[in-house]
Structure 1
Amino acid sequence: MNIQKSVNSFLKQCKRVLKVAKKPTTEEYLNFSKITAIGIAIIGVIGFVIVLIAQLAGV
């Protein structure tokens, strides 16, 4: 019985989230994509700099 209550509770929470959720507009999607691309580029540059420093240091 306890498992059934927790499953029902979970399904109610999922239903509530889906009611509140909305599809992003084109502008929101483009902004999100730009921010994600900038973040990936920054992480890549940091990784490249670390590898470059390690190679120059002879590690």
Structure 2
Amino acid sequence: MNINKESIHGFLKQCERVLRISKKPDNEEYLTVAKVTGVGIIIIGLIGFILSIVSQVLFYS
């Protein structure tokens, strides 16, 4: 792993550029992201639950 002064300087410049163009999400955007994340978690949980029920029915009956 080769770390030198130029690579660190370049990385810091990229970080500065990202921070300059990024913005804090407004309330509507935050709620949308929270809803989508919640729905995704619920879907993944349901898939896991269904798979566990199917495996119990197939292997323990």
Give the TM-score of the pair, scaled to structure 2.
0.91
Larger helix share, 1 or 2: 1
Pair 1:10 & 2:11 matched: yes
Give the TM-score of the pair, scaled to structure 1.
0.94
Quote the Cα distance in structure 1 between the aligned partners of 2:4 and 2:53.
54
Structure 2: any 5+ residue segments left out of the alignment? none
The root-mean-square deviation of aligned C-alpha atoms, in Å, is: 1.1
Instruction: Report the identity percentage.
Output: 47
Pair 1:44 & 2:49 matched: no
The runs of 4+ residues in structure 1 deviating greater than 2 Å are: none
